[in-house]
């Protein structure tokens, strides 16, 4: 099962440009497919052309076709499958590896792209090393050996490209950690700004309330002063009444009887006595 980080790294890798490290990987893999007879005195093809090194041959194809990185590196999977299919005692000619890689690249280009060069163009890209007949034959032979199964899974690509994907995955992990750190920093700054905003909003409400209270009090000074004056007059009247009381009344006041009530009662008693005396005199 391929992890999400592997898929991301694979996507990044397939969008990168072809490097010499990738071509070197292809050369090594192609050399491992089948052992070939080395004839130092005669390194030519069936067309009589001198046989270039495998590195030079692959570089030439990449330059002519401007192939995508994903398509080029898919040949690693086909080379591995072909290695598993060939007999252990199989042995090829000096040009066999060139044929194997060319046929793998042709099938990868045709299967994984909407449009790809025709076989006549591939023959031209070899600069006369192989004819159109040779190209057609090697394509059919490889299809037969691979049982016409050209599908390539992500698991296969990841397993063959570990050397290239590991640095990309490390960069992705660092970038992810950096994004998480920056996101936390942004959230902290946003929370701080929100707290400061709420803190600044609270005093303004208090000031407006204080101002309203002051204005309300400012509209009622005359009433308050009038009430205070009335209270002052009441206290003065009360003081005068208390001072005019006799010592007996003062004593009774201290006992809890209102002196004004006591005075009124005495006056009524005097008036009643006077009226009784007047009636008594009139009857005599």
pLDDT of residue 15: 92
Phi-psi region of 128 (alpha: psi -120 to 50; beta: other; left: phi over 0): left
The share of the chain scoring above pLDDT 70, in percent, equals: 76
Of the two residues 25 and 213, the one the predictor is more confident about is 25
Per-residue pLDDT reduced to its tens digit, 114-173:
889 999 999 999 998 999 999 999 999 999 999 999 999 999 999 999 999 999 999 988
pLDDT band at 195 (very low <50, low <70, confident <90, very high): confident
Does the pLDDT value for residue 229 go beyond 70? no
Q: Give the Å distances, CA to CA, from 236 to 187, 244, 246.
A: 71, 13, 18
pTM passes above 0.85: no
Helix ranges (H only) for the chain are 4-14, 20-33, 54-65, 69-85, 96-112, 119-125, 132-145, 154-160, 162-218, 221-243, 247-255, 259-283
């Amino acid at each position: 099962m391929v992890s999400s980080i592997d898929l991301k790294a694979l996507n990044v890798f397939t969008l990168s440009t072809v490097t010499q490290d990738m071509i070197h990987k292809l050369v090594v893999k192609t050399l491992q497919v089948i052992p070939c007879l080395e004839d130092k005195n005669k390194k030519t093809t069936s067309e009589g052309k001198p046989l270039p090194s495998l590195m030079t041959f692959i570089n030439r194809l990449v330059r002519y076709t401007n192939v995508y990185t994903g398509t080029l590196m898919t040949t690693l999977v086909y080379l591995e499958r072909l290695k598993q299919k060939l007999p252990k005692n199989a042995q090829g000619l000096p040009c066999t590896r060139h044929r194997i890689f060319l046929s793998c690249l042709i099938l990868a280009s045709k299967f994984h792209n909407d449009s790809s060069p025709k076989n006549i163009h591939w023959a031209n890209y070899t600069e006369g090393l192989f004819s159109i007949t040779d190209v057609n034959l090697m394509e059919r032979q490889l299809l037969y050996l691979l049982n016409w199964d050209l599908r390539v899974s992500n698991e296969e690509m990841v397993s063959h490209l570990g050397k290239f994907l590991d640095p990309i995955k490390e960069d992705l992990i660092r970038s992810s950690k950096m994004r998480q750190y920056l996101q936390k920093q942004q959230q902290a700054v946003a929370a701080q700004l929100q707290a400061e905003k709420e803190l600044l909003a609270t005093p303004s409400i208090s000031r407006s309330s204080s101002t309203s209270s002051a204005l309300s009090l400012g509209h009622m000074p005359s009433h308050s002063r009038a009430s205070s004056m009335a209270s002052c007059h009441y206290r003065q009247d009360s003081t005068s009444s208390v001072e005019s009381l006799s010592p007996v009344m003062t004593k009774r006041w201290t006992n809890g009887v209102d002196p004004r009530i006591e005075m009124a009662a005495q006056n009524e008693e005097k008036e009643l006595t006077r009226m009784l005396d007047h009636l008594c005199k009139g009857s005599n």
